Structure 1
Amino acid sequence: MTHPDFTPDLEAIHSIDAVPVILSMVKHLTGMRFAAIARVTEQKWIACAVDDSIDFGLKPGDELVLESTICHEIRQHRNPVIFGRASHHPIFSQHHTPRIYGLESYVSIPIVKANGDFFGTLCAIDSVSADLEDPAIAKTLNLFAQLIAMSLDSQSHLEITRKALVAAQEQGRLREQFVAVLGHDLRTPLSAIRMSADLLESKVEEKRSLSLISAIRNSSTRMGVLIENVLDFARGRMGGGIPVKRQLVDDLGRTVKLTLEEIQASHPRAQIVHSLDIPGGVYCDALRISQLLSNLLGNAVTHGSIATPIRVRVYAEADELVISVTNQGPPIPQALMPLLFEPFTRTEAGQRGEGLGLGLYIAAQITTAHNGNLSVTSTVESGTCFTARFAARFKWV
């Protein structure tokens, strides 16, 4: 029975598809009838793979007494040992290993990994003599041993990479679960803040107090948007995208107008002009479209110039609904363009601004969930324009 400590070694050799071919080639090259790969340590000699035509009796997992083998010595000096006639050899005619196992011919090539660790040996034995004088035989056997070592190294690297990937995935899963739970739990105190602000406003008349209450409400609204963005980010990362519930919406124009009014109320200094030509019967998730527009407008307000208006257009083009938001201001650096729709891009790019850098990511995810796409152009002359478009069924009224 194989010692459990050596099970990984046996599995590693077994998983190398070339091993049976290598052992067969060793027998063919040397004319010997037994070939094996052995794991050799300071205490153990374990057969990992065997090709036996002389009924020597060893099977994968079987063990020989280490001191009875020449591999014990090879592990120390790390040089190949090859002889074709033990009975006439000046050294091995007196060696105990040929005598114990009745060997006349013998080959043992060290298998050494790239980091210098000694794995074991590639062996061949027979009870009859073999012609092993050709230098090409030793050279080919060494190449076979190197091939086995390289395969073992590749397996080790793949296993390390696999474990690192599993660990990273688990860390990511736990992190995203934490974010989702945190975002969900933040909703309760935020609702209490909003309700308290509404209650205070109904009982207070003093102008300064009303101003403070308005500030509380505006801050809680911004916090609510941040929480929803965090939740959507977590849902998207854990569930394969942000979920949408598409249906035929006859009053999408009303939803869009309400969204524009909310953004304008939250950012009174911003100049927002709009052109809406929205048909009835738009197949979409109206709440998600509102969120999409809100995120694009929020980005424009934060990064655009307050001296020029933000232009919003929502219209039908062929069978698509198009939503565009354009603002003036410094153009987006070309190096940042490929990253715009990735989460936390603003933080990674070292840019300042409100929020977590999730707005454009979530806008892109909502567009994708509608089987559409979100694109951007940014120049000094035309400003920065984000355009979302997706196929929709229209019922013109």
Structure 2
Amino acid sequence: MPQTDFSSDLQAIGSIDAVPVILSMVKHITGMRFAAVARVTESKWIACAVDDSIDFGLLPGGELVLESTICHEIRQHHQPVIFGHASQHPLFSTHHTPKTYGLESYISIPIIKADGEFFGTLCAIDSVPANLDDPAIEKTLTLFAQLIAMSLDTQGHLHATKTALADANEMGRLREQFIAVLGHDLRTPLSAIRMSADLLESKVEDKRSRTLLSAIRTSSVRMGVLIENILDFARGRLGSGIPVQRKLVDDLQQTLRQTLEEIQVAYPQAKFIDSLEVPAGVYCDPLRISQLLSNLLGNAVTHGSTAEPIVLKAFAEGDEMVISLTNQGAPIPPALMPLLFEPFSRSEAGQRHEGLGLGLYIAGQIANAHNGTLSVTSDRETGTCFVARFPARFKWV
């Protein structure tokens, strides 16, 4: 489709500080009194910049009939056209352009951008003859045309970069809004459910009602974990990763104990054996480590055997903090092992367990954020064992 609005081309050429100097130099080198940068399309010839000492009458934005110009031909063959005395030239003495505009001398160099796009021409004209036989003239003007083309390319790249940066900033703002709204809109009704369950529990005594309230509380705990996992997934994939705030913690063992007790309350059918020997002064984010453990415990309860206890160990080993969790039951299928710490991986491996498959992904991300690792082994004899390790500074007491 032919271009109808050339304001961007006029602005692009107008913003190149070197163009006025180039046009002045073209006039000086050629001895001609009119020089211009023209935008040439398949249907239009538009002057973008002009240096006129012969009152040709063309200003920036001015238009010539394309077919009346030689630039129409240059656009097709991409070669310079130069003649210094049209009335004595074997070809241009009868050409319509010199006759139409009363030209004797003419030079036009194509301006071609890096991607091969023909932008237009750098040209000079005069009504009197000019000596243009020196090859250095064409070479110099060709360099000027290339300089203009490179400036246009630089402007295009800069514009694309600014646009991409603006889009990235806007996307970042939308991501932050999305995460904030998601957290608020999901947490608010869940808080109401929990408060209502607590209020009702204080007022009912029959066993059936209390059982229902217990189920509501258990479900709200699971929903809370899911919400936090979704929010962390959004932060991790849409933002810059799951944030951690590491500090020296003297009561990490108590935090891990409370996490275990919460899971025991939520899953009374599960059996646990724990060995927690956590020193004071562990350098970590205790809330995130609690979340890591909660996700591992929830995974063990969901996928392990209820007939065998889940074994939790936490201890210092050298300069590392180690948290291991072992459950019995069917080993993890080999097809699932490479996907285990990827989000939504269960469906890819044909698993049908409930949940989004985010728990282990987020646990792994928390370990990574602590410059640590989360690994797993699984076989029928020893069970499935997840081991989280991360470097820590210890303050022994």
Regarding TM over 0.5, the answer is yes
Q: Distance in 2 between matches of 1:244 and 1:106?
A: 67
Q: 1:10 to 1:305 in 2, by over 3 A?
A: farther
Contact 1:107 1:123 in 2 (8 A): yes
The answer for the alignment partner of 1:387 in structure 2 is 387
The answer for the alignment partner of 1:313 in structure 2 is 313
Q: Distance in 2 between matches of 1:283 and 1:173?
A: 32
Contact 2:315 2:323 in 1 (8 A): yes
Q: Distance in 2 between matches of 1:77 and 1:277?
A: 82
Q: Distance in 2 between matches of 1:281 and 1:71?
A: 82
1:62 aligned to 2:60? yes
Q: Please state how far the C-alpha of 1:322 moved relative to its aligned partner.
A: 1.8
Out of 329, 341, 366, the position equivalent to 2:332 is 329
Q: Distance in 2 between matches of 1:360 and 1:158?
A: 42
Letter in 2 for 1:261: E
Contact 2:247 2:285 in 1 (8 A): yes
Q: Please state how far the C-alpha of 1:295 moved relative to its aligned partner.
A: 1.7
Contact 1:37 1:122 in 2 (8 A): yes
Contact 2:46 2:64 in 1 (8 A): yes
Q: Please state how far the C-alpha of 1:291 moved relative to its aligned partner.
A: 1.4
The count of aligned residue pairs is: 373
Q: Look up the SS of the partner of 1:212 in the other structure.
A: helix
Q: Look up the SS of the partner of 1:203 in the other structure.
A: coil
Q: Distance in 2 between matches of 1:345 and 1:334?
A: 10
The answer for the alignment partner of 2:224 in structure 1 is 224
Contact 1:40 1:75 in 2 (8 A): no
Q: 1:71 to 1:83 in 2, by over 3 A?
A: closer
Query: Structure 1 regions of 5+ residues with no counterpart?
Result: none
The answer for the alignment partner of 1:260 in structure 2 is 260
The answer for the alignment partner of 1:170 in structure 2 is 170
Question: Which deviates the most, 67-76 or 89-98?
Answer: 67-76
TM-score if structure 1 supplies the norm length? 0.70
Q: Please state how far the C-alpha of 1:167 moved relative to its aligned partner.
A: 3.9
Question: Which deviates the most, 225-234 or 286-295?
Answer: 225-234
Q: Look up the SS of the partner of 2:65 in the other structure.
A: helix
Q: Distance in 2 between matches of 1:383 and 1:158?
A: 58
TM-score if structure 2 supplies the norm length? 0.70
The answer for the alignment partner of 2:107 in structure 1 is 106
Q: 1:383 to 1:104 in 2, by over 3 A?
A: farther
Q: 1:288 to 1:73 in 2, by over 3 A?
A: closer
Q: Look up the SS of the partner of 1:92 in the other structure.
A: coil
Contact 1:44 1:63 in 2 (8 A): no
The answer for the alignment partner of 1:203 in structure 2 is 203
Where does 1:1-397 land on structure 2 (aligned, <5 Å)?
A: 6=6, 8-9=8-9, 32=30, 37-41=37-41, 42-47=43-48, 62-63=60-61, 65-67=63-65, 70-71=69-70, 73-74=72-73, 80=79, 82-84=81-83, 85-95=85-95, 97-98=97-98, 100=101, 102-109=103-110, 111=112, 119-123=119-123, 127-131=129-133, 163=163, 166-167=166-167, 170-171=170-171, 173-233=173-233, 240-304=240-304, 310-327=310-327, 328-331=331-334, 333=336, 335-336=338-339, 340=341, 352-369=352-369, 371-378=370-377, 380=379, 385-397=385-397
Question: Which deviates the most, 233-242 or 180-189?
Answer: 233-242
Q: Look up the SS of the partner of 2:312 in the other structure.
A: strand
Question: Which deviates the most, 32-41 or 311-320?
Answer: 32-41
Q: Kindly, what percent of the aligned residue pairs are identical? A: 57
Query: Structure 2 regions of 5+ residues with no counterpart?
Result: none
Q: Distance in 2 between matches of 1:333 and 1:16?
A: 59
Q: Please state how far the C-alpha of 1:225 moved relative to its aligned partner.
A: 1.7
Q: Distance in 2 between matches of 1:280 and 1:83?
A: 86
Contact 1:38 1:47 in 2 (8 A): yes
Q: 1:359 to 1:110 in 2, by over 3 A?
A: same
Q: Please state how far the C-alpha of 1:259 moved relative to its aligned partner.
A: 1.3
Contact 1:264 1:270 in 2 (8 A): yes
Q: Please state how far the C-alpha of 1:294 moved relative to its aligned partner.
A: 0.6
Q: Distance in 1 between matches of 2:284 and 2:113?
A: 63
Q: 1:120 to 1:379 in 2, by over 3 A?
A: farther
Q: Cα deviations across residues 321-371 of structure 1 (Å, max 9, x unaligned)?
A: 12233454224646536xx35x555578775444444434443444455x4
Q: Distance in 1 between matches of 2:31 and 2:324?
A: 78
Letter in 2 for 1:329: I
Q: Distance in 2 between matches of 1:153 and 1:105?
A: 27
Q: Please state how far the C-alpha of 1:375 moved relative to its aligned partner.
A: 3.0
